[in-house]
């Protein structure tokens, strides 16, 4: 851990000479989103979705990509302190890289820090309005806050981008039934 913290301190001070080539700006995404929208089923959409996630996760900067892998691994083993340090370093070094913000938003959700998660989701969506993962996350945050109307809006926005997004249709159906009882 001591070596990792020293490495993180060094990484946080790096200045990158090359401009950030953020994943959300990759020209391949337009065709992938068109294919995602045209997919006939969740099974057909799955490899397209996986490719989009892979592109989103690539910043185009080696050091940032290494940090991203480290942050994802730390989050996966629930080492939230390390993951937060890593994702914060990413958003500081590459503030126009949407997936850095999205991963930190996910982490904050897992930590129960909903306001911080929403702030990061807002940043993700300002950089990549098609980020169906951030919209789904926003829906989950709003559900946790018992704000069903806003949860429904978020899931519907995500489903408009990714019509076969796992779970979205179920959430939307349940929320509409619940809200109909209250006169949507």
71 and 83 Cβ atoms separated by less than 8 Å: yes
CB atoms within 10 A of CB 18: 8
**Domain-embedded: residue 21:** no
Q: What is the DSSP letter of 94?
A: -
Q: What is the pLDDT of residues 25-50, one digit of tens each?
A: 999 999 999 999 999 999 999 999 99
For the chain, the domain total comes to 1
Question: Which pLDDT value is given to residue 20?
Answer: 39
**Domain-embedded: residue 149:** yes
Q: What is the DSSP letter of 172?
A: H
Q: Compute the average pLDDT of residues 110-115.
A: 97
**Among residues of the chain, what percentage have pLDDT more than 90?**
82
User: 145 phi and psi, to 5 degrees?
Assistant: -85, 0
pTM: 0.84
**Domain-embedded: residue 28:** no
Q: Compute the average pLDDT of residues 149-175.
A: 94
Q: Give the domain CATH number at 74.
A: 1.25.40.10
d(CA 171, CA 42): 16
Question: Which pLDDT value is given to residue 127?
Answer: 97
User: 154 phi and psi, to 5 degrees?
Assistant: -65, -45
CB atoms within 10 A of CB 82: 18
Mean pLDDT of the chain: 88
**Domain-embedded: residue 26:** no
Question: Which pLDDT value is given to residue 12?
Answer: 38
Predicted confidence (pLDDT) at residue 5 exceeds the cutoff of 50: no
**Domain-embedded: residue 13:** no
Question: Which pLDDT value is given to residue 181?
Answer: 78
Torsion, Cα 34 60 80 167, to 10 degrees, reads 10
Which residue range is the domain that position 90 belongs to?
Answer: 2-8+33-180
Give 184's pLDDT tier (boundaries 50, 70, 90). low
Q: Compute the average pLDDT of residues 87-112.
A: 97
Predicted confidence (pLDDT) at residue 22 exceeds the cutoff of 70: no
């Amino acid at each position: 851990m001591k070596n990792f913290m020293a490495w993180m301190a060094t990484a946080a001070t790096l200045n990158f000479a090359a401009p950030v080539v953020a994943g959300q700006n990759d020209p391949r995404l337009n065709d992938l989103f068109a294919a995602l929208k045209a997919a006939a089923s969740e099974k057909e959409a799955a490899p397209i979705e996986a490719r989009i996630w892979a592109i989103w996760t690539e910043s185009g900067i080696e050091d940032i990509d290494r940090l991203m892998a480290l942050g994802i691994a730390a989050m996966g083993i629930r080492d939230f302190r390390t993951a937060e340090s890593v994702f914060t370093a990413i958003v500081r070094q590459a503030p126009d890289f949407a997936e850095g913000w999205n991963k930190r938003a996910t982490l904050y959700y897992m930590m129960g820090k909903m306001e911080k998660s929403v702030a990061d989701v807002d940043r993700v969506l300002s950089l990549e309005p098609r980020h169906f993962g951030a919209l789904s996350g926003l829906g989950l945050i709003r559900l946790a806050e018992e704000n069903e109307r806003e949860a429904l809006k978020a899931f519907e926005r995500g489903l408009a981008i990714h019509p076969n997004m796992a779970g979205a249709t179920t959430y939307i159906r349940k929320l509409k039934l619940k809200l109909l009882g209250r006169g949507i």
